[in-house]
Amino acid sequence: MTNSDDTARKQARAIVALLTSKTLDDAAGAVGCSKRQLQRWMQQPVFAASLASAQDDMLAHAARRLTGMSASAVGVLDQVMSDEGAPYGVRARAADLTLANALRFQEAVHLARRVQALEQGKGKVQDAKETTDTD
């Protein structure tokens, strides 16, 4: 086993540790290296890109789980709001959460559409520029 193989294995463990540990010290302890070594690796473009990709994967997984749970959550809010036996404050809080999250969702969808339109427009500008550059 070469030193580079050992380093590559430690870096792979470091990515997992960085994603699952509360602190850099905890992550370093899990990997068996110093906190400073983790910081040096995090400055290396290849390691930083691998860490960012792993973070993106982890967040995408969490988003999929939350999306799957959202129908149940909306059902709970609906039940609480509709339960005339529930305290008024609880029902009002459920209504407030429902409205606030509906507005946030609507804003997110609107923003995503605007970004998509801008990106499509950028592609059109880029296409036009390439056409004029070749003329």
Residues 81-106: pLDDT tens digits?
899 999 999 999 998 988 888 889 89
Query: What is the pTM (predicted TM-score) of this model?
Result: 0.62
State the pLDDT confidence band at 125, using cuts at 50, 70 and 90: low
Distance of CA 133 to the CA centre of its chain: 38
Model pLDDT, residue 5: 85
- What's the mean per-residue pLDDT of the chain? 88
Q: With a cut of 80, say whether residue 2 has pLDDT above it.
A: no
Domain ranges of the chain: 1-63, 83-135
CB 21 within 8 Å of CB 27: yes
Angle at 18 between CA 68 and CA 57, to 5 degrees: 35
Predicted confidence at residue 131, as pLDDT, reads 56
Residue among 79, 99, 100 at smallest CA distance from 91? 79
